[in-house]
Structure 1
Amino acid sequence: MLPLKIIKGDATSPQAKGPKLIAHIANDLGGWGKGFVLAISRRWPEPERAYRQWHRDRAHNDFGLGATQLVQVRPDIWVANMVAQHGLKSGSAGPPIRYDAVERCLTTVAEHAAALSASVHMPRIGCGLAGGRWDRIEPLIVTALSAHDIPVTVYDFD
């Protein structure tokens, strides 16, 4: 099992050699405009464009909680749009994060990372606007990725 690495830095500028997969959480409403997605869009337009198209065509595809869309942005970098946030705000059902959806998304990310021989890079997914708790997210990452010897780096942005 590979240890989870946590460093200071920018997850849109992954610090590794070889193929890299950047994972982040998106909502199930098709909204893209706050949080880490803005950093992604500043660097590459493709993930936002693909996510919005995926949402628009949701009647004919797998868009929904637990689904993951992989978008290649450079020859050696892919962005994983992981739908694991229900809505945008906390309500009677708690924060928008859906841990079961995070788990399904991370399993899919692990499959893609293994097929690409890629390392995985991410901010503390689900812990910003989605309202999740790191003590619940981190074990999901370890189980889905680190336990399968997929290198994972989590970035704390200054």
Structure 2
Amino acid sequence: MEIVQGDLLKLALAGQFDLILHGCNCFCTMGKGIALSIKQHFPEAYAADQATEKGSREKLGSYSSALVERGDARFTIINAYTQFDWRGRGVKVDYDAVRRIMRSLAKEYPNAKIGYPKIGAGLAGGDWNLISLIIDEELAGLDHRLVEYVAG
């Protein structure tokens, strides 16, 4: 896993990625963290989330997607359903869901330049060491980068 610093959304708009992904809950909220920024800047990604069944456990381990075109930039945003709910305390990320999503993305987008934040390790309370191992295993051999947020 390559690690870069910056703003994932700005890097995508600058043409650095073909695919960016972020973790979502299954209730179509996108109300905090990077999901809120995506909702505000890329309404097509929020619309893709809204088109899924609110509160469905069946979404865990799947994703919705939206193609974004802004000027010369063209990339896909993946709303990865990595946690069921956002309420309550404790770990909310579902590690198996993370694995299933990464495995699916590796098959569907084998030639994409992929960027992501610390999926499941922020508001979802997951163990980044474990999540990063899952990502490295499932995206092995692909062009993928963790973007550690730095305002710019």
Shorter-chain TM-score category? 0.7 to 0.9
In structure 1, stretches of 5+ residues that fail to align are none
Match of 1:150 in 2: 142
Indicate the percent of aligned positions where both proteins have the same amino acid.
29
CA RMSD of aligned residues (A): 2.3
List structure 1 runs of 4+ shifted beyond 2 angstroms. Answer: 13-19, 55-58
1:57-105 CA-to-partner distances (Å, cap 9, x unmatched) read 96xxx951111122111263001111011211344xx411000001001
Match of 1:99 in 2: 95
How far, CA to CA, are the matches of 1:17 and 1:30 in structure 2?
27
Aligned residues: 146
Match of 2:114 in 1: 120
How far, CA to CA, are the matches of 1:63 and 1:69 in structure 2?
13
SS at match of 2:9: coil
User: TM-score of the superposition, structure 2-length normalised?
Assistant: 0.85
How far, CA to CA, are the matches of 1:65 and 1:120 in structure 2?
21
Deviation at 1:112? 2.3
Deviates more, 1:125-134 or 1:13-22: 13-22
> In the alignment, is residue 39 of structure 1 matched against residue 37 of structure 2?
yes
How far, CA to CA, are the matches of 2:55 and 2:121 in structure 1?
28
> In the alignment, is residue 8 of structure 1 matched against residue 5 of structure 2?
yes
User: TM-score of the superposition, structure 1-length normalised?
Assistant: 0.82
